Structure 1
Amino acid sequence: MLRLRNNLKLSRQISTNFDKFESDFHKNHIPINDFQRGLLAMGSALMSLVDPFRHDMIACLGETAGMSAITYMKQKMESSPEGAEILKSRPRINSKTVDLNKLRTFPEGTLGRVYVKWLDDNNVTPDSRMAVQFVDDIDCAYVLQRYREAHDLFHAVLEMPTNMLGEVTVKWYEAIQTRLPMCIGAAIFGPIRLKPKHRNLYKKYYLPWAIETANSSNFLLNTFFEKRWEQPLAELHQELNIKPFILPQTRS
């Protein structure tokens, strides 16, 4: 009887998530033709290079020039039982769907505690991710939305801060795993903004680790984070084949 109630509760939750994203998709979706898509792709690419902090342009680039990558990500999720479950239930990651105060009560070292501590330490909110607008296929739109909302979790799982060095490292990981054009662009051009000392650390330690880890670890977007809040991060690292980054002691 308890199992039946739990299954019914889960079924209702999946239905609610599915309907909610479908509603949001139709509310935010902006249909465009191929010519408009090309113009937006070129314009957003140029603006992203001029001003890497134009998150709206970076988001636009991902939607207008990233369909091949989004399709690849969708296929990776469909090939995984956990990824397929995410696609079926379409969970969202924001302050309305995730009880951040509850995560703060979890034991040290658990995924939930690590995630909320990362948010607090970096003064970041999970509500800052833009809605997908220019992707016509609803399933592909969800995949990209999921990536955006899971980006902070990528940082937390990889234990990387939001400074330029941490962002570039995560972007290399994401570029290899997702093939998204804005991640590739940020990974290639982001290091230009690093100071000489950080650039040396990046070339010697951070970049090799990011490339090796991205290629050897499981597809991170297949992780149903919401069902793993209480899992120790060390255990999750082992499961996903992620070797934590440790910066060797260097002389100043």
Structure 2
Amino acid sequence: MNPPTLFRQSTRQLLPALTVRSFTALTRPPPNYPGHVPLTTPERLLLGAGSAVICFFNPRRADLIAACGEATAVPYFIYRLRDAMLRDSTGRRILRDRPRITSTSLDLPRLRALPPGTVGREYITWLDREGVSPDTRSAVRYIDDPECAYVMQRYRECHDFYHALTGLPVVREGEVALKAFEFANTLIPMTGLSMAAALTLKGDERSRIWGTYFPWAIRNGVNAKEVINIYWEEELETSVEALRKRIGIEMPPDMRRTRAEIRAAKKKEKAEREALGKV
């Protein structure tokens, strides 16, 4: 391919990310897909900054975490992730098929019948243990391009698979560690911003995050295959160990076990102090 053709092709790829439609809150254009809310640049900046601040103090606001992710992913980062899918044969199939991850599409009872150690069985075991459902992910609203909106939706709906793949639990410490991995792997700004929540952790949790889980997350996120290109629906019967090896992810230290051991040690120490106090 000659240089002029390459230049024109590269320009066409960049134009969607650089083009900003000129409108105001009073002249808002029609939505590009069901549920879409077009935002002006000031609205997008305010949504991104405001949601990030609130989520720092209240990380349980999943709706604002989702809004922050969408507001800060435009104009560059979501297009970068979409292009990463276009460069990968499996990613292109995902974009073409546009599968959704729900309790209906996955047939959860069938996953419970899969052999232990398979991706599907690990996933459903993790869902059952943590008491979560794949149906709780918010719909994308603030990304203008329909294809990029699907990419964000796909990333969002795959989040629980990342938990199952890494074994990280749904506690603040586990979520911060997983967001660090996602940032290194996807470069979505919201995941990087979420790492700041490490400052709100307790002392021993903060030490583990900085000393163990952040180094693991950055190393594995950078070196692993981009997880957005995993067609999870086709990997349900795959050995989870084989999948980890194929995409280049090593398991982090068992956070659940570590936390349980520390709680048990503190409980034993407290009981011993109380026993000495009664002597």
Task: Answer yes or no: is 1:209 the counterpart of 2:220.
Answer: no
Q: 1:97 is paired with a residue of what secondary structure?
A: helix
**Cross-structure match for 1:54:** 61
What TM-score comes out, normalization by structure 1 length? Answer: 0.85
| 1:30 partner letter | V
**Cross-structure match for 1:18:** none
| 2:239 partner letter | P
**Cross-structure match for 1:17:** none
> Which entry has the higher C-alpha Rg, 1 or 2?
2
**Cross-structure match for 1:234:** 241
Distance 1:241 1:64 in 2: 30
**Cross-structure match for 1:12:** none
The structural deviation recorded for 1:25 is: 7.1
Distance 1:46 1:166 in 2: 20
User: What is the CA deviation profile of residues 48-105 of structure 1, one whole-angstrom value per residue up to 9, with x for unaligned ones?
Assistant: 2232222211111111221221111111111111111101100000112110000000
Higher relative contact order (CA 8 A, sep 6+): 1
Question: Which deviates more, 155-164 or 222-231?
Answer: 155-164
Identical amino acids, percent of aligned pairs: 36
Cα RMSD of the aligned pairs, angstroms, is: 1.9
The counterpart of 1:122, out of the listed 130, 150, 153, is 130
User: What is the CA deviation profile of residues 105-127 of structure 1, one whole-angstrom value per residue up to 9, with x for unaligned ones?
Assistant: 00000000000000000000000
Distance 1:40 1:32 in 2: 9
| 1:170 partner letter | L
Unaligned runs of 5+ in 2: 1-30, 266-279
Count the aligned residue pairs.
228
Q: 2:135 is paired with a residue of what secondary structure?
A: coil
Task: Answer yes or no: is 1:162 the counterpart of 2:175.
Answer: no
Unaligned runs of 5+ in 1: 1-23
The structural deviation recorded for 1:161 is: 0.8
User: What is the CA deviation profile of residues 117-141 of structure 1, one whole-angstrom value per residue up to 9, with x for unaligned ones?
Assistant: 0000000000000000111100000
Contact 1:106 1:113 (C-alpha < 8 Å) held by counterparts = yes
**Alpha carbons of 1:194 and 1:39: their partners in 2 closer, same or farther (altered >3 Å)?**
closer
Runs of 4 or more off by more than 4 Å in structure 1?
A: 247-252
Distance 2:248 2:39 in 1: 40
What TM-score comes out, normalization by structure 2 length? Answer: 0.77
The counterpart of 2:148, out of the listed 123, 137, 140, is 140
